[in-house]
Structure formats: C-alpha cells, structure tokens
A and B are shown apart, each in its own frame.
Chain A
Amino acid sequence: MVRSDEDLMVRVQTGDEAALETLMGRFKGPLFGFLNRRVGASAADDLFQESWIRVVKARDRFDPRRRFSTWLFQIANNLCRDRGRHLLVEARHRDRVLGEASAAPAPRPATPALTDRIDMARHLAALPDPLREVLVLRYYQDLSEREIAEILGIPRGTVKSRAHAAVKALRQQVEQHDGPVEETRDA
C-alpha cells in the first residue's frame, strides 16, 4: 500500500525511521533541485542535510492537515533566506572576486550542453531573490500559486505578479544573451 506523504510524516512523528527514509527517497530529487536553483550547487548539499534535520527536529509541529511538500519547501526556503541574509556581505565580496575572474579569458567548457546549463544557471542566479524563488517553485517544482503563497508567506496576488516579473526578466536576459526567445526555441 502506498502511503501518502502526510501519513509517512505522522509515522516519522512516532519515530519511524523507515517512513523517514521513504519520505527522503520521494523528495530528495525535488528538494535538491530546488536548493540547487535557489542557492547554487556549492551550498545545496549543506542545506539539503539541514532541511531534513529541521524536519526531524520540528516533527511534532507538523500538522497532517497540511501538505508535507509545502511544509518541507517552506523549511528549505527559510533556510535559503537565512543563508542569504548571513552571507550578504560575503556574497558582495565574492561578486567582486568573480567579476575580476570573469575579466580573464574563461576556459572553454567541455560540451554545449554544459554551456547551456551554466548559462541557464547564471540567468536564474541573476534574477532577484524574490523572483527566482517564485519561478523555481512554479516552474521546476510545478507548485500551485496557493502552495507557493503558503511556502513564501505572501499573498497569491503577489505570487502572480512576481511570477510574471520573473518570466519577463528572464526573457529579457536570455534575449540579450541568445537573441529572441522564439529563435532559441526553434533551434
């Protein structure tokens, strides 16, 4: 019998290790993808671990009437925000260093696919944080506006406007870099 995520979390609340393993198996990909796109590959490993630690620590506060996925992404997103705040100063410094590094000739990437991946990651990373988090949850996690609003703690109207702004900003970036989107699509 396939148990729902919420049922499994209720079992986790009673200390069921197998239920935790099943939940982790179900959500490891989506969560890791979300963290990768929110904070980058270098921090995703740490935040992946930390998210599950928080899930276990806060297990008694999980309300089975809520969706587990929403709760999990809420925890992960809060961790991303905390990290963003703590690393703001370091990030400025890193940007300076990266700026200097990008002035030097870059090594040629191995494959076009890798180039595409890096370019896309850069486009995403260049989006302002509030736009990026909405876009990642909406497109890559395929969550509804209601769920995103709950995860981010903002009204649904704000989710909608941020999603539109994110699409517009991303389109502009891609067009500046690659040319019109339609051409890229046909290619």
Chain B
Amino acid sequence: MREPRNDLEAALGELAPILERDTVPEPSDALVAATLERASALLHAPVPVPTHAEIPVGFKRELAKLLAAVALPLVFVLAWNAFILLQLPGFLGAWLPESLAWALPAAYVLGAAGWLALVFGSLPVVAHRRAWLRHQEAL
C-alpha cells in the first residue's frame, strides 16, 4: 500500500501483515471458460425489449409512497391558496379597483393550480418509472 494519508490508512497498514494472510486463489480456467461461454451466448441472444405497456409489479406501492410524500405539503399549499383567494381581495381592495383586487389573487391561484396539476399528474409517471427500474434491477 502507498504511504498512509490518514489514520484509517495507517490502521490498515498496521493490520496489513494480518490481512495479507488471506490470500485468495484465481478463479479456475474452467470456471472462467464456462462463464465466458454463458455470457457470450447471452451477448448474441436478442435483447428482450422491455415493455412499458404493462404496469410493473410494485407500481401501486411506489405511487402510494409518492402520494404519502406529497400529502402534507399539498395540505399547506391548498390552505395557502385558499387564504390568498379569500383574504387578499379584501386587503388589496383598500388600494386597488375591485376587479383588479380579485383578478390578481385569482391569477395567482390559477397559476398555482396549474403547477399542482403538473406535479400530481406526473406522479403516476414517476411511480411507473421507479417500479420499472426496480423490476429491471432485479433481473
């Protein structure tokens, strides 16, 4: 090993004579040949095209996890927007024309609703992707 750069490397260096006792043989030629044969056969086999059409195992669980993660923030976002919509027109009405005092909070809430739709609409897509990747990892 190189010169120790920290206390861990120094400790490993101290243990090196003991750790070096554990010598492991190389894999046998027969094992390497058999592995190469199996792997090569797969290499030339047609790659199965993963289908996204089917709902992968674990999709519902992933979706539930995502929904649980956004549930609490959603409550706050809804409460905040309700507050804006109900309170802000009255507050702004003191300085602005009535139509504008309503239009501004309404535009804000509409924009927020659009973002919410985007976020929640994408959850099933994200859940599908995560479940599919997990399934592929397990192959």
Q: A interface vs B, CB < 8 Å? A: 12, 15, 17, 20-21, 24, 28-29, 32-33, 36-37, 44-45, 48-49, 52-61, 78, 116-117, 119-121, 123-124, 138-140, 142, 160, 163-164, 167, 170-171, 174, 178, 181-182, 184-185
Main secondary structure of the interface of B (DSSP, over half): helix
A12 to B42: give the CA distance in the assembly, Å.
11
Residue from B11, B19, B40 in contact with A164 in the complex, judged by beta carbons closer than 8 Å: B11
A26 to B50: give the CA distance in the assembly, Å.
31
Contact B21 A160, beta carbon cutoff 8 Å:
no
Residue from A59, A120, A138, A185 in contact with B12 in the complex, judged by beta carbons closer than 8 Å: A138
Chain A interface: which of B25-33, B71-79, B88-96, B124-132?
Answer: B25-33
- Number of A-B residue pairs at CB separation under 8 A: 103
B95: shortest Cβ distance to chain A, in Å?
51
For residue B38, CB closer than 8 A to chain A, the reply is: yes
**Given A32-B27, A184-B17, A121 and B22 contact (CB-CB distance below 8 Å):** yes
For residue B53, CB closer than 8 A to chain A, the reply is: no
**Given A37-B22, A119-B21, A121-B22, A17 and B32 contact (CB-CB distance below 8 Å):** no
Interface size class of B (residues with CB under 8 A): 20 to 34
A62: shortest Cβ distance to chain B, in Å?
13
A45 to B45: give the CA distance in the assembly, Å.
23
Contact B18 A174, beta carbon cutoff 8 Å:
yes
> What would 7 more interface pairs be, CB under 8 Å, given A32-B27, A61-B136, A185-B14?
A20-B39, A28-B26, A55-B39, A116-B21, A121-B22, A181-B14, A184-B17
**28 A-B Cβ contacts within 8 A?**
A28-B32, A32-B24, A36-B24, A37-B22, A48-B31, A48-B35, A49-B38, A57-B139, A58-B139, A60-B47, A78-B137, A117-B22, A119-B21, A120-B18, A120-B21, A120-B22, A121-B22, A124-B22, A138-B12, A139-B12, A140-B22, A142-B1, A160-B8, A163-B8, A170-B18, A170-B19, A171-B11, A182-B14
